[in-house]
Amino acid sequence: MRLLGLVVAALAALPEVVECAGGRVHHAKDGSVIGTTAPRPTLKPKPLTTGKQFIKSERRKRTCFVDALGNGRDDAPQILAALHKCNGNGTVALLSPLYTIATPLDLTFLNGIDIDIQGTLKFTPDTDFWQANSFKYTFQNSSSFWQIGGTDVNIFGSGKGTIDGSGQAWYDLYAQDPLILRPILIAYKDLHGATISGLKLRYSPQWYQIVIDSSNIIFDGIDIFGGSISKNPAKNTDGWDTYRSDNIVIQNSHIDNGDDCVSFKPNSTNMVVQGLFCNGSHGISVGSLGQYYKVYDLVEDVYVYNITMINASDMARIKVWPGIQSALSVDLQGGGGIGLVNNITYDNMQISNVDYGIELTQCYGQKNLTLCNEYPSTLEIKNVVFKNMWGTASKKYDPTVGTLVCSSPAVCHNIVAKNINVVPPSGKAPKYTCTNMDRTLLELPCA
């Protein structure tokens, strides 16, 4: 991995640490104003919460300013140095218009720190370098540009701070080779007690964010956008993926992307997602689960509330791999896993031009339905409620507006749908595919 430089040397080059809260004016050497620090937002889950505790940070007592080097020079070493210097009850302020990030940042050491981002942090489009030097994770062969972890961390962009993954180079390269390793824009790894707010996330090569082995985090006011300007689409650009994490709230955000708006990956528990506007996505998804043979996956205690979903493949989605290994695509294969989906609620959902308002499948990744039926999933799904959904589906499956297909009645229990008013654009009577379901609990026109 390319070295970030000596932290000690970079520390010596930083401005003096000063007492600071929001509102401190920072000047350049020539006396001109670079910017003013922003106050840290006070965030609470609203209107719903998980019932668990979240972070209560003390007022930070000192500030490290980081001025961009300019001319395309790598700002990663001095940002890393500032985070070391102000770690422990300090604030790092990134107020310059543009920072170039040309080397990976391992920020899993943070403790009692705020990061005030008001400029743009832009990763270089060096696809060869980043494939070799990004942080690697075993789950779904994923990687990231940088990883953020620790305790008592607040990162805020005040509605203007931007993180840009230079995704176009990756979209074009992926069209040539689907086995390239595309980095996730941000990985929150081993992060416990944090708020992430007011950021603009742009042009991620793959998923925008993964929350892995983390807990007690609030995301608020995140704006995601990143389409392709070539014929090669931006693929697999999930807004959030949660994995082996607990007590996460995602709220009040706007997402324009090309895959799941939010996806609860294996071992996601105590999740609230509320107040989102999602455009162009694959819905808010439980899963995919059961990808790894005989591995136990759990998603439990999830509430999805007050969502607007437009121009999407799905709104409420639960996706489970079948009981046999299969290939969804060249770079995504699996099946045969076990586990449980329990206590999931989708409530108050408005849709427009969405293929399926509800999709529940235990045959994800397997186009051969005969084979899927021969090797059904054994992953159990129970205590799921879909309620209060309205709007118009797309033309794709008209007049079918939803599908709920379980491997067998033995593995799906207490799946409820009520007050669902989704109509096809043709004006025909809406239909749902309902297989191996207790239809007495579904207030749906099952075909």
Q: How many structural domains does the chain have?
A: 1
Look at residue 15 and give its three-state secondary structure. coil
Q: What are the backbone dihedrals phi and psi of residue 172, each rounded to the nearest 5 degrees, phi first?
A: -70, -40
* 398-310-439 Cα angle (round to 5): 50
Question: Which structure tokens are listed for 359?
Answer: 């999709």
Element (H, E) at 25: strand 25-27
Query: Would residue 60 count as lying in a domain?
Result: no
Q: Is residue 30 included in any domain, yes or no?
A: no
Q: Which residue, 38, 8, 35, is CA-closest to 21?
A: 38
Q: Are 335 and 324 in contact (CB under 8 A)?
A: yes
Residue 382 covered by a domain: yes
Determine which helix (DSSP H) or strand (DSSP E) holds 242, and give its type and residue range: strand 240-243
Please tell me the number of Cα atoms within 13 Å of 240 on its side-chain side: 31
The answer to whether position 207 is within a domain reads: yes
CATH code, 229: 2.160.20.10
Domain membership of residue 37 (yes or no) is: no
For residue 272, is it within any domain? yes
pLDDT tens, residue order, the chain (447 aa): 443 333 333 333 343 333 335 689 999 988 999 999 999 999 999 999 999 999 999 999 999 999 999 999 999 999 999 999 999 999 999 999 999 999 999 999 999 999 999 999 999 999 999 999 999 998 998 999 999 999 999 999 999 999 999 999 999 999 999 999 999 999 999 999 999 999 999 999 999 999 999 999 999 999 999 999 999 999 999 999 999 999 999 999 999 999 999 999 999 999 999 999 999 999 999 999 999 999 999 999 999 999 999 999 999 999 999 998 877 777 778 899 999 999 999 999 999 999 999 999 999 987 777 778 888 899 999 999 999 999 999 999 999 999 999 998 999 999 999 999 999 999 999 999 999 999 999 999 998
By three-state DSSP, how is residue 81 classified? helix
Q: Which domain holds residue 335?
A: 95-110+117-441
Other Cβ atoms less than 10 A from the Cβ of 399: the count is 18
Name the token pair of 398: 């008209």
Instruction: Assess if residue 354 is contained within a domain.
Output: yes
63/260 Cα distance (integer angstroms): 37
Positions annotated as catalytic residues are 282
Nearby residues of 244 by Cβ (< 8 Å), 6 or more positions away = 212, 213, 266, 267, 268
Q: Which residues contact 42 (CB under 8 A, 6 or more apart)?
A: none
Q: Where are the alpha helices (DSSP H) in 144-188?
A: 168-176
Position 70 in a domain: no
